[in-house]
Amino acid sequence: MSGSGAAWELTGFRHPLWMAAALPIILLGALLGALAWFGPLGVLNRGAPPVEQLSIERIEIRADPPRFVMTVVNAGTEPVIVAQVLVDDAYWEHSVVPERRLPYLGRATVTIPYPWVEGERHEVKLLTSTGTVMAGEIPVAVESPQFDGRWFAALTMVGMYVGVIPVAIGLLWYPFLRTLDRRWVHVALAFTAGLLVFLAADALAESVEMAVALPPAYHGIGLILAAVVITLVVLQLVAGNGQRAAGDDAAGRRALAAFVALSIGLHNLGEGMAVGAAYGIGEVALGASLVAGFAIHNVTEGLGIAGPVAHDRVGFPFLAGVGLLAGVPTIVGAWIGGLAYAPVIAILFLSVGAGAALQVVYQIAAIVRRRSIRELAQPSTIIGFAAGVAAMYATALFVGA
């Protein structure tokens, strides 16, 4: 046990350190090899039929000729064969590309010519070769948007309305913030922190909701945890090494504002994906009210970015820069969500955004504490923090769904 240096002792033999490190990996490789060669061994080999986990990722509704185009994924470890398709409890003609047999995490496109009725509900069921049923719902049948220039422009507009414009409007509070007394700066910072805490909680809740709906093979909750923790650690290392973001001088505060904008931008990327997806799957009625709600909600984000630099003299280029950093990812998110919505990617960005927001909250707390430990506990700071959370909650009510 006193082994130190380049050797590790076991039953009298001395091994080089690399061997000690590699041995478990070699043994694991041998185990996997044995499992691959001989199949499940002994008690594991019960010959029980596998539980099939076919997942319907996306249903597009098309016209001329009327049809459904579904993307399905096999989220189970055993291959699944799509044998038949039922629409509204009736067997239906269909084609499966590239083939009916889906390997683990394999994908297929199922095209079903079907005279769907606009505005009404339809249900599509996939029947596998073992008789297992996987159902997908079309709550309100509306033709899915075509991926043309007009659609692209529409998604860009959605991103503008939801992200860029509200953030810009919120930043217009900057001149007002500058007129406030210097004592109020930490209140503005606390407001930003409250806002970010709300965003982080909101993003985590949304991620968890989506993660639970994911096929288990994706390990959604683990993905969230990994994304949040890795983001926190990476940003902390970047901020710590730079020694600027954490510093309480004009440059440090500008860097902090940029970090706030970055974390909000990452969040908005995930949010833009959700909104773009709502458009993409044809929930258009939801889209309009959702856009209006997000617009109101995200004005607060602009205010939050302005908070750290409330008492610094920053120029228009800086404000425009941080505004675009926070807002433009919404457009990119809307494109991704509208064109190829994948819950896993949305979860990833929302979680990264949450991790970033929490790291920025830590930075803000560090700054306020460095100014004066008393300020951190002052009623005005606490009220500022609470106001940030409350403002986000109140405006979130406009988002509705």
Partner 1 sequence: MAGTVDVQRLGFDPMEMLSEWDYGATSRLPDGRRLREYWITAADQEIEVAPGVVFNAWTYNGRAPGPSLRCIEGEMIQVHFTNGASHAHTIHFHGFHGPDMDGIPGVGRGVIEPGDSFTYEFEARPYGCHLYHCHAIPLKRHIAKGLYGVFVIDPDPARHGGPQRELAARRNHREPACQAINEMVMVMNSFDTDFDGENEVYAANTVAFYYMQYPIPVRRDQVQRLYLVNMTEFDPVNSIHTHGFFFNYYDHGTTLEPTLRMVDTVMQCQGQRGILEFSFADAGLPPGRYMFHAHQSEFAELGWMGFFEVI
Interface positions with partner 1 (CB under 8 A): 81, 83-86, 89-95, 100, 127-133
127 burial type by CB count under 10 A (0-12 exposed, 13-18 middle, 19+ buried): middle
Q: What stretches of 75-160 adopt beta strand conformation (E)?
A: 80-87, 95-97, 101-102, 107-113, 122-128, 133-138
> Is-contact 298 268, C-beta < 8 A?
yes
Question: Of the two residues 9 and 123, which places its CB atom closer to partner 1 in the complex?
Answer: 123
Strand partners, 71: 58, 109
Question: Of the two residues 77 and 95, which places its CB atom closer to partner 1 in the complex?
Answer: 95
Question: Of the two residues 78 and 248, which places its CB atom closer to partner 1 in the complex?
Answer: 78
Helix crossing, 284-306 with 185-213: angle to 10°?
A: 150
Question: Of the two residues 91 and 176, which places its CB atom closer to partner 1 in the complex?
Answer: 91
Minimum gap (Å) between residue 89 Cβ and partner 1: 5
Minimum gap (Å) between residue 138 Cβ and partner 1: 18
CA-CA distance, 281 to 233, in Å (whole number)?
36
Minimum gap (Å) between residue 91 Cβ and partner 1: 4
CA-CA distance, 307 to 256, in Å (whole number)?
10
Minimum gap (Å) between residue 170 Cβ and partner 1: 51
Minimum gap (Å) between residue 218 Cβ and partner 1: 23
> Is-contact 295 166, C-beta < 8 A?
yes
Question: Of the two residues 5 and 115, which places its CB atom closer to partner 1 in the complex?
Answer: 115
Residues near 150 by Cβ (< 8 Å), separated by ≥ 6? none
Question: Of the two residues 130 and 146, which places its CB atom closer to partner 1 in the complex?
Answer: 130
Task: Say if strands 7-10 and 13-16 run parallel, antiparallel, or are unpaired.
Answer: antiparallel
Question: Of the two residues 62 and 100, which places its CB atom closer to partner 1 in the complex?
Answer: 100
Minimum gap (Å) between residue 94 Cβ and partner 1: 6
Q: What is the CA angle 327-152-356, rounded to 5?
A: 25
Minimum gap (Å) between residue 129 Cβ and partner 1: 5
